[in-house]
């Protein structure tokens, strides 16, 4: 696959969906995984159901972002939500936008009729006169005039450092990890809340009852929970989590059940797994909203430019798009 094209976009998460939404030109998308969504990700387990093991929900007051979300087939997560469960707990009533078939579909419609190459992990980019030579992990190559990169910070820096290290060195971009447990119990735990948020807990960050999000997809005899670790816990264990999956999963599930005063021994677990996100969330910081080099025709955007949520990815990609549009059209 060696072709000379106009715009290549790397990734198919929220940032890439936003580029697609605002860009007035055609583009080709290259995605390392098998589907769209990026960190807005859903794990389907045969006979069990599905877990939103990345982004949980979107809450926004931003009008343009709401319109963007509304152009998909999203719904509202119904239930009672408790925050700071371990410290000064209170109910939280903000509107939570989800997709009832799984949050990987939150941006699905935007990508309809897009030219997407899946399982194409970009390994290297090289500058050839006035084009970019993209080299993929499977050793295929493609040439484009403009490249827009939407991958998390450390990966974007690795791919582009000969062109961007001066830029990146000016800002303290950083992304924290998360360990996310997916567990199915053989019966309902009988809990009151659809989700629990923890503050400064050594082990727990957040827990969601998946049955309250997407009842139609589930084996309704089971109850599915997605439990995110605290950042502190993830930082300690992320590097070697694959070798300690069972121990870490058990530790998180036990901590969650203890927090809701349920005895671990009296519940049967039908399925459990753990996913490690090396780059889960960014930090809120003050930086430009995106990177654009007009001469090189290289653009970079992502949530980490200004925060850690899908809304930040949207704002960053929109900012990049405006700059690209000014110079390309
Ligand atoms: C556990 C967890 C919980 C979260 N909870 C929330 C929440 O409740 N609400 C909220 O708003 N946000 C939440 N977030 C953050 C939210 O998921 C992100 O802000 C948003 O998804 C970022 O979108 P993006 O497109 O910028 O990046 P990504 O979604 O990371 O997209 C980048 C894409 O690039 C692909 N890619 C990476 N490297 C390459 C390569 N070399 N070649 C080709 N493709 C590549 C990836 O596979 C991915 O599809 C959460 C994140 C995590 C991990």
Ligand 1 centre distance from Cα of residue 20 (Å): 16
14 neighbors 40 (Cβ within 8 angstroms): yes
Average pLDDT over residues 7-11: 97
Write the pLDDT tens digit of every residue in 276-327.
Answer: 999 999 888 888 899 999 999 999 999 999 889 999 999 999 999 999 998 8
Residue 39 CB less than 6 A away from ligand 1: yes
Residue 309 CB less than 6 A away from ligand 1: yes
Ligand 1 centre distance from Cα of residue 54 (Å): 8
Q: Which of 230, 222, 237 is CA-nearest to residue 271?
A: 222
Q: Which of 8, 9, 11 to mutate to test the pocket of ligand 1 (most atoms within 8 A of CB)?
A: 11
Residue 306 CB less than 6 A away from ligand 1: no
pLDDT score of 328: 72
pLDDT score of 1: 41
Residue 282 CB less than 6 A away from ligand 1: no
Give the three-class secondary structure for 192: coil
Token output for 80: 């009672």
Write the pLDDT tens digit of every residue in 176-222.
Answer: 999 999 999 999 999 999 999 999 999 999 999 999 998 777 788 89
Question: Which ligand 1 atom minimizes the distance to the CA of 37?
Answer: 49
pLDDT score of 10: 98
Average pLDDT score over the chain: 94
Integer-rounded Cα Rg, in Å, for the chain is 21
Residue 29 CB less than 6 A away from ligand 1: no
Ligand 1 centre distance from Cα of residue 91 (Å): 28
pLDDT score of 284: 80
* Domain architecture of the chain: domains with CATH: 4-40+107-172+287-328 (3.50.50.60), 42-103+175-282 (3.90.660.10)
In the chain, the DSSP E strands lie at 4-10, 28-30, 42-45, 49-52, 75-76, 81-83, 90-92, 97-98, 115-117, 122-128, 131-136, 141-149, 175-185, 195-197, 204-209, 223-229, 269-282, 291-293, 298-300
Ligand 1 centre distance from Cα of residue 260 (Å): 30
Sequence-separated (6 or more) residues with CB below 8 Å from residue 238: 177, 179, 276, 278
pLDDT score of 285: 82
Ligand 1 centre distance from Cα of residue 109 (Å): 17
Write the pLDDT tens digit of every residue in 34-89.
Answer: 999 999 999 999 999 999 999 999 999 999 999 999 877 899 999 999 999 999 99
Ligand 1 centre distance from Cα of residue 263 (Å): 34
pLDDT score of 8: 97
Write the pLDDT tens digit of every residue in 214-255.
Answer: 877 778 889 999 999 999 999 999 999 999 999 999 999 999
């Amino acid at each position: 696959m060696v072709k000379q094209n106009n715009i290549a976009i790397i990734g198919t998460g929220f940032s890439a969906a936003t580029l697609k939404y605002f860009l007035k030109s055609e583009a080709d998308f290259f995605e390392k995984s098998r589907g769209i969504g990026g960190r807005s990700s859903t794990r389907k387990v045969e006979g069990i159901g599905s877990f939103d093991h990345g982004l949980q929900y979107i809450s926004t007051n931003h009008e343009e972002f709401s319109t963007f979300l509304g152009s998909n087939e999203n719904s509202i997560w119904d239930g009672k939500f408790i925050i700071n469960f371990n410290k000064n707990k209170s109910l939280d009533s903000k509107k939570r936008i989800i997709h009832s078939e799984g949050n990987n579909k939150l941006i699905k419609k935007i990508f309809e009729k897009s030219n997407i190459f899946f399982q194409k992990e970009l390994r290297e980019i090289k500058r050839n006169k006035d084009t970019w030579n993209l080299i993929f992990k499977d050793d295929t190559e493609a040439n484009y005039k403009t490249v827009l990169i939407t991958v998390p910070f450390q990966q974007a820096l690795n791919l582009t450092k000969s062109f961007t290290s001066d830029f990146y060195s000016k800002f303290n971009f950083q992304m924290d990890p998360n360990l996310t447990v997916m567990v199915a119990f053989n019966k309902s735990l009988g809990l009151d809340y659809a989700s629990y948020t923890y503050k400064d807990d050594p082990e727990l960050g957040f827990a969601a009852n998946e049955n309250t999000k997407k009842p139609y997809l589930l084996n309704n005899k089971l109850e599915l929970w997605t439990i995110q670790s605290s950042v502190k816990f993830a930082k300690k264990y992320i590097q070697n989590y694959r070798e300690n999956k069972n121990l870490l999963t058990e530790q998180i599930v036990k901590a969650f059940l203890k927090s809701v005063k349920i005895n671990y021994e009296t519940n049967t677990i039908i399925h459990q797994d753990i996913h490690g996100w090396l780059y889960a969330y960014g930090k809120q910081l003050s930086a430009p909203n995106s990177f654009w080099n007009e001469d090189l025709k290289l653009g970079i955007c992502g949530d980490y430019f200004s925060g850690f949520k899908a809304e930040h990815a949207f704002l960053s990609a929109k900012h990049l798009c405006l700059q690209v549009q000014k110079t390309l059209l």
